[in-house]
Amino acid sequence: MRIGKLDNAATSICTSDATSITVRRLDLCSAVIGHVDFTSYFWLLVTGAMPSRPQKALADAVLCAIAEHGLVPSVVAARMTYAAAPEAFHGAVAAGLLGCGSVVLGSAEAAGRFYAAVVAQAEAEGTDPNETATSAIRELRSQKQAIPGFGHPQHSDGDPRAHRLLALAKEHGMEGRHIAMLRTIEAALPAAIGRSLPINVNGAIPAVMLDAGFPLAALKGISLLARTASLIAHLQEETERPIGFIMSGAAAERIGFEAEE
């Protein structure tokens, strides 16, 4: 039974022979190892081209911004998994990554798709960006959906990570149509929903990365790569200062039992 397309059976990422390994047209040993930093290599792997200095600077900044944020659900899942299965370090990392969805960590991808769609609509229809943004915001609210990339339970004056990323984009001359739309949405919020909301890091990340030329389809990979580094750090700490079972016990104490009627 045929499932999916069966033509174009090829990859342009990597190949090897008896004497060499080639990655994105570069010899891995003579042109990459010892010559290319990991952020640039990541960009090359995903896009097929080496990043410019501004692109690398912004990718570095974004990876640092999103890697670590304390005992968030992905970290808790990883540390509790490792506590229960210390022989499966890889399984604990995977447990943390599997929880990266639309609410935690994956929200940057949703925000990016929203901004890209609103930008594309405004350009295709030749409408005023503010009108397009306002319409898109009201459509989300009519469906009782949050505005992607806005609001923060702790940073009411704005997410400091978002402020820094947007400042860096301006500093490197990489402000484009997605950051412009992010700002347009921010300005349209009071009239559209009756109050303002601060830009959070998951709003800044996709706007910055899309304007830097990173592909929309790979946006979630930025968060996954960054959080993997953090999970490894937490699991290393778990080997030295274990808290997995402490968190498990705290959950058991906090959650009461309710008999079914």
Indicate the number of domains in the chain.
Answer: 1
69 has pLDDT over 90: no
Determine the average pLDDT of the residues in 233-249: 94
Mean pLDDT across the chain, nearest whole number?
92
> Is the distance from CB of 217 to CB of 172 less than 8 angstroms?
no
Domain extent at residue 87: 52-248
Tell me, what's the pLDDT at 1?
66
What are the tens digits of pLDDT across the range 154-209?
666 778 999 999 999 999 999 999 999 999 999 999 988 888 899 999 999 999 99
* Residue 42 domain-assigned (yes or no): no
For residues 12 and 105, what is the distance between their CA atoms, to the nearest angstrom?
Answer: 29
* Residue 7 domain-assigned (yes or no): no
* Residue 83 domain-assigned (yes or no): yes
* Residue 212 domain-assigned (yes or no): yes
Tell me, what's the pLDDT at 102?
74
**Collapsed DSSP state (helix, strand, coil) of residue 130:** helix
Determine the average pLDDT of the residues in 128-150: 90
For residues 116 and 206, what is the distance between their CA atoms, to the nearest angstrom?
Answer: 9
For residues 126 and 250, what is the distance between their CA atoms, to the nearest angstrom?
Answer: 55
Tell me, what's the pLDDT at 100?
83
Q: How confident is the model at residue 105 (pLDDT cuts 50, 70, 90)?
A: confident
* Residue 77 domain-assigned (yes or no): yes
The closest alpha carbon to 39, from 61, 21, 20, belongs to: 61
Q: How far apart, in Å, are the Cα atoms of 237 and each of 63, 82, 234, 250?
A: 21, 11, 5, 19
> Is the distance from CB of 169 to CB of 128 less than 8 angstroms?
no
* Residue 134 domain-assigned (yes or no): yes
* Residue 84 domain-assigned (yes or no): yes
* Residue 79 domain-assigned (yes or no): yes
